Amino acid sequence: MSGQTIAEKILANHSLSGSDIKPDDIIIAKLDLVMSHIGTGKVVLDFRKIRPSKIRKVFDPNKIVVIFDHYNPAPSERWASVHDLIRNFVKKQGIKDFYDIKEGICHQVLPEQGHVRPGMLIVGGDSHTTTYGAFNAASCGLGNTDLFYAYVKGELWFRVPHTIQFKITGKLPQSVMSKDIIIKIAGDHTAEVATYKAIEFTGDTMENLSIASRMTMSNFALELGAKFAFGVPDQKVVDWVKERTTEPIELVKPDPDAVYEKTYEIDVSNLEPQISCPHTVDNVKPISEVVGTKINQAFLGSCTNGRLEDLEIAAKILEGKRIPNHVRMIVTPASQEIWIKAAKSGVSETLINAGAVITNPSCGACFGALGGMLASGEKCISSSNRNFQGRMGSAAAEVYLGSPATVAASALKGEITDPRDF
Amino acid sequence: MAALLGGKGSGEYKENIKGKVWVFPDNVDTDVISPSRYLENLQEMLDHTCESVIKEFPSKVQDGDIIVAGRNFGCGSSRETAPAILQEKGIVAIVAESFARIFYRSSLARALPVLEVNEVSKEFQTGDEIEINIPNAEITNLRTGKTLKGKKIHPILLNLLKIGGLEKQLLAELKENK
């Protein structure tokens, strides 16, 4: 037997269909953790179909995390009712790991609260669940029906994915961020380069990135179609996780003779900031080709880029300056922990003084249903992960995706601006 | 949302399906099928689904119609309203050059047949009639007579279609264990 990739190892460790597995096999695997947000509402309704009512039980209340992030605080009576439905369910089922409206976005809060550890198999009712790959966990998103099954049985079918490798080397130029790398990959290799596949990001650039920057890559990897998206399994991960859990931590590393379907090599030493232009993430241009595009709104936030380092680089660019009145800059920290740190360090004050609006931690404007919606004909530069038509409001609006540095520089000028000029 | 998502489904499993085709382009995403601004009001979503790609789709689509699409169909969010809305509008199968993973998985979970067939979108025009044999992954354009072979659905997943989806499987398993 040849060596195994990270995905193959983790799936083999969780397989109920035997541990001798290979890509394209369909296996049943045991789940370590199930996460869901507002989509829990549908699970609650589905539970009512289980008869008799006394067997309406989740598989293990200690392996489920429920969190509110898309509609915080409830923007309408409808969502208030869904919140209410879920709160009652969580209480009745004895799910202790429930985060109500204040903590922030699931993909930030779960790692922060110590729920994510190397080697785990995690599913979530949210597509960007791939984010936990930065912590060496195999994690992916799925829809409500799969979630219902997972809630009751604690297991699901998986197709063992082929693994592709992105070997990233070179020192990132100043003001160029991990977001620029992943957008560049989307542009060069399309939004389906990783469909059904697991990604392993490797190379010295990856090793040097912070955990936050790696999370950005694993998060955006979903937009490339990825099922799992692993960062580098190294001491940085162990140190980060160790501070947040008392559970044992053991990295899962690929075998030296693991078989990769394909390896892509990327040298980032001369990388320019990159922009995903409307309306697909792989409609990518280097910033020099879109500089000067007028914007109405700049959004800094989301599970992709709403972390402290993102707010810090924006504050550095905006320090002592003033965003023009005709530009709306909205900043949404990804979690309460980040928000408090930004408040303590003065980052929040700098952003507010520059004219930004800071909102409570949530999915915010990225999701196009909470606040910061776009009118017909408007343009937004956003640090989030989707620029689909109609994503942030009007179908006649345009969303451009870029790094937090690009968002801040663009807010200041009212047009898409190269952050390297600051 | 409850009534809709638990809604119509795809009915009994049939090995052979025939229907009128709607041709969709590459990269049709979940925000096109199920825009977040309509998640508040699902009747509105039914009235507007996919209109940014095919304006007349929501008003003209009929029960038993079939989508033929390009690459990466259903990319984006995990919201299951995307396959659910299409089922509710009467779509009984989707044939695409490739599917985004979560959309594919959710469709099978909802017993909506999804077949991957290379180059399929070039062989059809909206309004053509298509015949599909699901287990053989074989499709025929009844206007041109051309037959294409796609990727067969894994037997375990085909069984999921046959029994009517994952929810039915779960409820049956619970009944057995009672």
Given this model, what pLDDT does residue B37 score? 80
A278 CB-near residues (< 8 Å, 6+ apart)? A387, A389, A398, A399, A400
| Choice among A60-69, A128-137, A148-157, A363-372 with the minimum mean pLDDT | A363-372
Strand ranges of the sheet holding A297-301, from the earlier edge strand across to the other edge: A284-286, A274-276, A398-401, A379-382, A297-301, A328-332, A357-358
- Beta-strand runs (E) in A319-406: 328-332, 357-358, 379-382, 398-401
Q: What are B137's two structure tokens?
A: 């992954």
What pLDDT band is residue B177 in, cutting at 50, 70 and 90?
A: confident
pLDDT at B89 over 50: yes
Going by their DSSP bridges, the two strands B16-24 and B129-133 should be labelled as antiparallel
- Asked if B171 lies within 8 A of A390 by C-beta distance, the reply is no
Provide the Cα torsion A312, A317, A321, A324; round to 10°.
-100
State the amino acid at position B128 in one-letter form: D
Q: How is domain A6-159 classified at the CATH fold level?
A: Aconitase; domain 3 (3.30.499)
| Cα of B75 to nearest chain A Cα, Å | 8
Nearest partner of A283 among A388, A356, A355, A152, judged by Cα: A388
Distance of CA A104 to the CA centre of its chain: 12
* ipTM value for the complex: 0.94
User: What share of chain A in percent tops pLDDT 70?
Assistant: 100
In this prediction, residues A66-78 reach a mean pLDDT of: 96
Q: DSSP per residue over A56-102, as a string?
A: ---S-GGGEEEE--SSSS--SHHHHHHHHHHHHHHHHHT---EE-TT
What CATH homologous superfamily does B2-177 map to? Aconitase, domain 4 (3.20.19.10)
How many alpha carbons fall within 13 Å on the CB side of residue A109?
Answer: 27
Decide: A366 and A69 in contact? Cβ < 8 Å: no
Q: How is domain A163-267 classified at the CATH fold level?
A: Aconitase; domain 3 (3.30.499)
B174 CB-near residues (< 8 Å, 6+ apart)? A50, A55, A152
Decide: A342 and A308 in contact? Cβ < 8 Å: yes
What pLDDT band is residue A361 in, cutting at 50, 70 and 90?
A: very high
Q: Is A419 exposed, middle or buried (0-12, 13-18, 19+ CB in 10 A)?
A: buried
Domain range A276-421, CATH class: alpha beta
Going by their DSSP bridges, the two strands A274-276 and A284-286 should be labelled as antiparallel
In this prediction, residues A64-81 reach a mean pLDDT of: 96
Residues in A 358-377 with any Cβ partner in B closer than 8 A: 367-369, 373
Q: Residue B177 and residue B86: Cα distance in Å, rounded?
A: 34
Interface test with B, best of A145, A190, A279, A283 (most B CBs within 10 A): A145
Q: Is A26 exposed, middle or buried (0-12, 13-18, 19+ CB in 10 A)?
A: middle
Cα–Cα separations (whole angstroms), residue B8 to A100, A143, B94: 33, 17, 16
Given this model, what pLDDT does residue B2 score? 39
Of B1, B40, B105, the CB nearest to A42: B1
Q: Using a CB-CB distance cutoff of 8 angstroms, which residues of chain B are in contact with residue A142?
A: 78, 102, 105-106
B178: nearest CA in chain A? A55
Report the b/e string of A44-70 with b at 16+ CB within 10 A: bbbbeebeeeeebebbeeebbbbbbbb
Of A26, A49, A141, the CB nearest to B78: A141
Identical fold, A6-159 and A276-421? yes
Q: What angle do CA A108, A373, A398 make, to 5 degrees?
A: 95
pLDDT at A141 over 80: yes
Decide: A180 and A288 in contact? Cβ < 8 Å: no
Q: What are B14's two structure tokens?
A: 């049939």
Q: Is A325 helix (H, G, I), strand (E, B) or coil?
A: coil
pLDDT at A172 over 70: yes
Q: HEC states along B84-145?
A: HHHHHCCCCEEEECCECHHHHHHHHHCCCCEEECCCHHHHCCCCCEEEEECCCCEEEECCCC
State the amino acid at position B51 in one-letter form: E
pLDDT at B3 over 50: no
Decide: B42 and B4 in contact? Cβ < 8 Å: yes
Q: Residue A51 and residue A380: Cα distance in Å, rounded?
A: 49
pLDDT at A333 over 50: yes
- Asked if A191 lies within 8 A of B27 by C-beta distance, the reply is yes
pLDDT at A167 over 70: yes
Q: Using a CB-CB distance cutoff of 8 angstroms, which residues of chain B are in contact with residue A199?
A: none
Given this model, what pLDDT does residue B4 score? 46
Phi, psi dihedrals of residue B71, rounded to the nearest 5°: -85, 155
| Choice among A199-203, A414-418, B32-36, B106-110 with the minimum mean pLDDT | B32-36
State the amino acid at position B138 in one-letter form: E
B65 CB-near residues (< 8 Å, 6+ apart)? B19, B20, B21, B22, B90, B91, B92
pLDDT at A369 over 90: no
Q: Residue B33 and residue B20: Cα distance in Å, rounded?
A: 19
In this prediction, residues A160-185 reach a mean pLDDT of: 98
pLDDT at A270 over 70: yes
Of A143, A191, A368, the CB nearest to B105: A143
Residues in A 237-276 with any Cβ partner in B closer than 8 A: none
Q: DSSP per residue over A162-230, as a string?
A: PEEEEEEESPPPTT--HHHHHHHHHHHH-TTTTTT-EEEEESHHHHHS-HHHHHHHHHHGGGGT-SEEE
Q: Where are the domains of chain A?
A: 6-159, 163-267, 276-421
User: What share of chain A in percent tops pLDDT 90?
Assistant: 98
Strand partners, A285: A275
Q: Residue B170 and residue A154: Cα distance in Å, rounded?
A: 12
- Asked if B37 lies within 8 A of A393 by C-beta distance, the reply is yes
Given this model, what pLDDT does residue B10 score? 61
Decide: B84 and B110 in contact? Cβ < 8 Å: yes
What pLDDT band is residue B176 in, cutting at 50, 70 and 90?
A: confident
| Cα of B133 to nearest chain A Cα, Å | 22
pLDDT at B128 over 70: yes
Nearest partner of A178 among A335, A309, A348, judged by Cα: A309
- Asked if A45 lies within 8 A of B6 by C-beta distance, the reply is yes
Tens of pLDDT along A91-106? 999 999 999 999 999 9
Decide: B100 and B73 in contact? Cβ < 8 Å: yes
Q: Residue A202 and residue A199: Cα distance in Å, rounded?
A: 10
Q: Residue B92 and residue B102: Cα distance in Å, rounded?
A: 18
